[in-house]
Amino acid sequence: MPARQPIDLLLLPRWLIPIEPVVDQVLEDHALVVDGGRIVDILPADFARQSYAPRETIELPRHAVLPGFVNAHTHAAMSLMRGLADDLALMDWLQNHIWPAEAKHVGKGFCADGVRLAAAEMIRGGTTCFSDMYFFPDATAEVAVEAGLRAVIGLVVMDFPTAWAQNWEEYLHRGLGVYDRVRGQALLSAAFAPHAPYTVSDAPLRRIRELATELNLPVHMHVHETAGEVDAAVASGGKRPWQRLRELDLLGEDFVAVHMTQLSDDEIAEAGRLGVSVVHCPESNLKLASGFAPVAKLLAAGVNLALGTDGAASNNDLDMLGELRTAALLAKAVSGDAQALPAAAALRMATLGGARAFGLENQIGSLLRGKSADFCAIDLDHPATQPVYNVISQIVYAAGRDQVSDVFVAGRALLRNGQLQTLDQAAVLARAREWRDRLRA
């Protein structure tokens, strides 16, 4: 008998959901073979035992294993503002509560502690990659590395001064410095992150287009989040934000538009033609009464859809399983079609769709040979998820994040048997309480 090949890890779940090449495929009694942080094989469990000599074997007889969730839009540090100003419309929430609190409290220490709190929450919910947009992105990058999470670091740009920068030139200068530091780090990438059409003028957007093309970086931006935003743009400049962004040459395959609740049929068709990706944030949009993204129409137009939670200050959690369920249900209600967003399509949004939006689809988002071993395991042997008829439907419509037992990024365990491996949860929570006392005072 030939010698078995040495490997780092042999994972033996009850169900394996690869997402590719068929989005609704479920493999039963198959093994995930991991070595050097990458997936080297997927094959029937019996053959895997005969072919490989693992240094570690993890048997998960009650679990589904799937790609880790890609949270495609976060403001991770704002976890420290969770519940600070609830039940308000977007501009009231921003102008009268969030922006004043940020002006008083936000600095590198605030952001580092906020990202640690967010990272602990995201890992416990099965997220392995997040795309962030917030101040002090250097702190976000440092904590992501500390936690072992994959992250797209947003190089935020605005016109007005904050604790991070005083004008758009300084935002770009400091952002490019962060890009230079994260470039080449295995788990980090970057994206330009102009906040929104109503906070960023034409000159910085033109410069961002030049730099994004030169550096081959995506552009991540809030767009058409509310009807008020669109109406104000038309009233002040005679153009809808989408038209202005098109005329500035921002729209294309490297553009990631977040929210997109206010769209005409022509804009939807154009998003499909131009290859724009859209990040759907259903729970934040619902809570702020911002509107409903036309998910069914976007899918029909061929738009790549991703899923994000937004920040915990407007959601109020970073729970991708919860977001999955809300997205699937909301799409049906908005379109009047129970088949508008099937469970498997929603799961693709939360995994491969997010990876594709930020140019990471060759590394993550599905379980394929050669890709990074970024995955999570969900224990379905719970009263809420039994009996199991359709594994994917059970995950999307019934599973809770308390059922996530294991999370790995690049073959490294971040969560094992429900216990964080890279973060000190007690210390993270203690710092969160300290910041609560400061903000409340």
| Residue-wise pLDDT tens digits, 334-381 | 999 999 999 999 999 999 999 999 999 999 999 999 999 999 999 999
Are 420 and 124 contacting, i.e. CB atoms less than 8 angstroms apart? yes
- Which residues are within 8 A (CB) of 230 and not within 5 positions of it... i.e. 6 or more apart? 224, 240, 241, 262
**Cα separation of 376 and 415, whole Å?**
9
DSSP element (H, E) containing 103 = helix 99-105
Q: Which of 312, 271, 320, 313 is nearest to 293 (CA)?
A: 271
Tell me if residue 410 falls in helix, strand or coil.
coil
With a cut of 90, say whether residue 328 has pLDDT above it: yes
DSSP element (H, E) containing 101 = helix 99-105
Tell me if residue 281 falls in helix, strand or coil.
coil
Task: Please state, for a pLDDT cut of 90, what percent of the chain lies above it.
Answer: 96
- What is residue 1's predicted lDDT score, i.e. its pLDDT? 57
**Cα separation of 393 and 390, whole Å?**
5
**Which pLDDT tens digit goes with each residue over 107-164?**
999 999 999 999 999 999 999 999 999 999 999 999 999 999 999 999 999 999 999 9
- What is residue 358's predicted lDDT score, i.e. its pLDDT? 98
**Cα separation of 207 and 31, whole Å?**
48
With a cut of 80, say whether residue 197 has pLDDT above it: yes
CA angle (186, 191, 197) in 5-degree steps:
165
Measured in whole angstroms, the distance separating CA 14 from the mean position of its chain's CA atoms is 26
pTM: 0.97
- What is residue 440's predicted lDDT score, i.e. its pLDDT? 87
Number of H helices, E strands in the chain: 17, 17
Instruction: Name the pLDDT band for 234 (thresholds 50, 70, 90).
Output: very high
Cα distances from 105 to residues 37, 120, 174, in angstroms, run 39, 22, 20
The dihedrals phi and psi of 386, each to the nearest 5 degrees, come to -130, 145
Q: Which CATH number fits domain 5-67+372-410: 2.60.120.380, 3.30.2000.10, 2.30.40.10, 2.60.40.10?
A: 2.30.40.10
CB atoms within 10 A of CB 107: 13
Q: Which of 64, 129, 134, 141 is nearest to 354 (CA)?
A: 129
- Measured in residues, the chain has a length of 441
Instruction: Name the pLDDT band for 91 (thresholds 50, 70, 90).
Output: confident
Residue-averaged pLDDT of the chain? 97
Chain region(s) in the chain for CATH 3.20.20.140: 69-357
Q: Which of 306, 380, 372 is nearest to 13 (CA)?
A: 380
- Amino acid 83 reads G
**Which pLDDT tens digit goes with each residue over 42-86?**
999 999 999 999 999 999 999 999 999 999 999 999 999 999 989
Long-range contacts of the stretch 241-249 (C-beta < 8 A, 24+): 241/197, 241/198, 242/267, 242/270, 244/197, 244/202, 245/197, 245/205, 245/221, 246/270, 248/202, 248/205, 248/206, 248/209, 249/209
- What is residue 90's predicted lDDT score, i.e. its pLDDT? 85
The dihedrals phi and psi of 364, each to the nearest 5 degrees, come to -140, 180
Mean pLDDT lowest among 86-90, 155-159, 424-428: 86-90
- What is residue 2's predicted lDDT score, i.e. its pLDDT? 75
DSSP element (H, E) containing 259 = strand 255-259
Which superfamily does CATH assign the domain made up of 69-357 to?
Metal-dependent hydrolases (3.20.20.140)
Instruction: Name the pLDDT band for 441 (thresholds 50, 70, 90).
Output: confident
Are 63 and 380 contacting, i.e. CB atoms less than 8 angstroms apart? yes
Chain region(s) in the chain for CATH 2.30.40.10: 5-67+372-410
Instruction: Name the pLDDT band for 420 (thresholds 50, 70, 90).
Output: very high
